[in-house]
Each structure stands twice: as structure tokens, then as C-alpha cells.
Amino acid sequence: DDTDRAYFAVFDGHGGVDAANYSATHLHVNVGLHEEIVKNPAEALKCSFQKTDEMFLFKAKREKLRSGTTGVSALIVGSQLHIAWLGDSQVMLVQQGKAVTLMEPHKPERE
């Protein structure tokens, strides 16, 4: 279609780089191929995080990998910004010189 889109992501590996590298390689592909990417980008992000996690868990079990990752992604669709994250990775938006809170990071002490 003629809608401009941009995708950005950062992954912070824990216990190695395998999960972070896997996520960096596969998450954007899963987002781009998701059936809801045009009508519901937020749902596409959420489902793609889950799918990528399931894919890596299968690989990790098969190859006896023991790493994990946090991640944050931003998907810009036209003039809308969609943020998805897992773990304590965070994203910051600065608008006219002021920080705008976009998210509450996932922390063990938070319900």
C-alpha cells in the first residue's frame, strides 16, 4: 500500500547473545508477515513477539541454548507510533525538549 512504515528494535541479551541475535533476525520478519500489520499494527507486534519467542524456545531446546533477551521495538505507521517491549528494556520519546513516558518497564516487583 502507500502507507509509510518504519521499524526499529533493540535487544539486550542475557546469558549470551543467541536469543538477542535470533530476535533481531526474526521479529521484524514476523511483524511484516503478520496478517494484521495493515489493520492492527499493535496486534501484529504483540503476536509477533509471542511467535518469535515460541520459535526461539523450540530452537533453544533443540540446540540446548540457555540465553534470553529483553527487547523493545517501535513501529511507525504513517503518523502513529506503536511500541512493544518485553522485559526491562525501555524507550524514550523526547518531544519539544521534554521526555514523554511511553511505557512502564516489566520488573519482577511489578504485578
51-83 residue pLDDT tens: 999 999 999 999 999 999 999 999 999 999 999
H helix count then E strand count, the chain: 2, 5
Q: If DSSP codes are grouped into helix, strand and coil, which group holds residue 4?
A: coil
Give percent above pLDDT 70 in the chain. 100
pTM, rounded to two decimals: 0.88
Residue 28: pLDDT over 90: yes
Measured in Å, how far apart are the chain's first and last C-alpha atoms?
Answer: 40
Q: Are 83 and 74 in contact (CB under 8 A)?
A: yes
Q: Tell me which CATH code domain 5-101 carries.
A: 3.60.40.10
pLDDT score, position 36 = 95
Residue 1: pLDDT over 90: no
